Amino acid sequence: MAKTREIYICSTCGNQSLVWQGQCPACKEWNTLAAEIVSKKSPSESKPGGKNAPVALEEVGGELMQGRPTGFEELDRVLGKGLTPGAAVLLGGEPGIGKSTLLLQLAGSVATRGGRAVYASGEESLPQLKGRAERLGLLGPGLLAMATANNDDLLSLFTSGQPPELLIVDSVQTMASSRVDGIPGSVSQVRAVSTELIEQAKKSATTLFLVGHVTKEGSIAGPKLMEHMVDTVLYLEGDRRHLYRILRVLKNRFGPSDELLVLEMLEKGLSIVSDPSTFFLGERDASLSGTAVVMAMDGQRPFAVEVQALVGRSTLSFPRRTALGFDVNRLHLLLAVLEKHLRINLATSDVYCKIGGGLKLAEPGLDLGIVAAVLSSLYDRPLPEGAVFWGEIDLNGMVRPVSAHDIRRKQAKRLGYGPMFFSRQGKGLHGSGTIGGFQKALFGQEGGQGEG
């Protein structure tokens, strides 16, 4: 029998260590090393004897496999080629965000198009799956389901009969392989289950979807190696209290890796928002102060978002600075630039800023809109009706151009926005090189004392 030994594996990066340490030597995270029992092969078992040999790529036969349509045109665009045979896709997201609903709808769409889809769940029973599919109106002869936590049951789908076109595993942390020690969800089990399923899926041209849990920091749980093993990594994000969801592509070997898809949670499941250009604006009143429209870019798609700001007198020793939807450090930086270059006193003012609709963005083009909203609230004067902003502000008070300027401008024109405010380097209609000139263009003044 093979000897066994105990090693310690980092749950964040998958690094292995022979002794336990409080901090992982690879990723420097604390308290992430967990003990795992592995088998140690004898020298006779580890002798090289592989039959595989390298071949010239130009001599490789066969044609490239074409992707199968999912039934959702926008989802095909995000995935690149639809459901590519043999592809492995990892989908992550917070609990209750809609991962299972989205994948069940995908399986139902494949089944209605004559394909064979199998939804394997280690978290729900078959009656629960049927009830959810019936509520979504997806019941049909081509939609198959399994309730199991044994990975061998899933592997048997590839060896007995016709392999499915689509296999969904919800979730990989609930599956266990009999060939590896450890409880389901451990680093060794997740790695073994993923390896076995991906290997069989590529041999049988089955499109594999793996659902992954997330940690409290928001990253996909399990070894980081799992994200390198799959072809595509998707992340479903949003607030469970809001109706919208965003499906973001973090990695894609078959298409662009910076795409996103906007979804809306309805009674019959998730519905794709085909044109999210103004989806996050809602019903806004342009006559109110403290609001600005920004033409933002997330992935390769431009859409208009509303930035809201509230500046008021503070009664605290240290005034509040609150930002929702973007990094609060960006707000601190922009306020410091305003105080330095516009001679505005904000030391006794509370400043609250948010992006409307609950959207979260990390985009430098937001800077100009945030500044416009803050100045509008500070002077209690509304911005010009139809005005739209984009541009990055550096520490010297200069407005710098941002990427995809032409795309933003074309989209703003299509939506009927004007005037447009952006960097002068972008050769814009109402561009300005400094925030001083930008303030003068908005309010007719170079600088001044704000309230407080």
The answer on whether 141 is annotated among ligand-binding residues is no
Considering only residues 301 and 345, tell me which one the structure prediction assigns the higher pLDDT. Answer: 345
Residue 252's closest CA among 107, 60, 76?
76
What's the rounded Cα separation, in Å, for the pair 104 and 89?
15
| Confidence at residue 38, expressed as pLDDT on a 0 to 100 scale | 66
Name the pLDDT band for 362 (thresholds 50, 70, 90).
Answer: confident
Taking only the tens place, the pLDDT of each residue in 130-145 is 999 999 998 888 899 9
Taking only the tens place, the pLDDT of each residue in 425-449 is 544 434 458 888 888 888 875 443 3
- For residue 17, is pLDDT > 50? yes
Considering only residues 21 and 218, tell me which one the structure prediction assigns the higher pLDDT. Answer: 21
Amino acid present at 197 = L
The answer on whether 95 is annotated among ligand-binding residues is yes
| Confidence at residue 441, expressed as pLDDT on a 0 to 100 scale | 85
Which ranges constitute the DSSP H helices of 225-290? 225-229
The answer on whether 99 is annotated among ligand-binding residues is yes
Name the pLDDT band for 51 (thresholds 50, 70, 90).
Answer: low
DSSP class of residue 16 equals E
What's the rounded Cα separation, in Å, for the pair 47 and 54?
19
The answer on whether 93 is annotated among ligand-binding residues is yes
**Neighbour count for residue 144 (Cβ, 10 Å):** 16
Three-state SS across 354-402?
EEHHHCCCCCCCHHHHHHHHHHHHHHCCCCCCCCEECCEECCCCEEECC
Taking only the tens place, the pLDDT of each residue in 404-421 is 889 999 989 988 898 999
Residue 363's closest CA among 404, 335, 398?
404
Taking only the tens place, the pLDDT of each residue in 252-295 is 998 877 788 889 888 888 998 877 777 777 677 888 999 999 99
The answer on whether 385 is annotated among ligand-binding residues is no
What's the rounded Cα separation, in Å, for the pair 111 and 268?
17
**Under 8 Å between Cβ of 444 and 305:** no
**Under 8 Å between Cβ of 391 and 368:** yes
Taking only the tens place, the pLDDT of each residue in 71-104 is 888 898 888 888 999 999 999 988 888 999 999 9
The answer on whether 416 is annotated among ligand-binding residues is no
Name the pLDDT band for 46 (thresholds 50, 70, 90).
Answer: very low
Return mean pLDDT, the chain: 85
- For residue 27, is pLDDT > 90? no
pTM of the full structure: 0.76
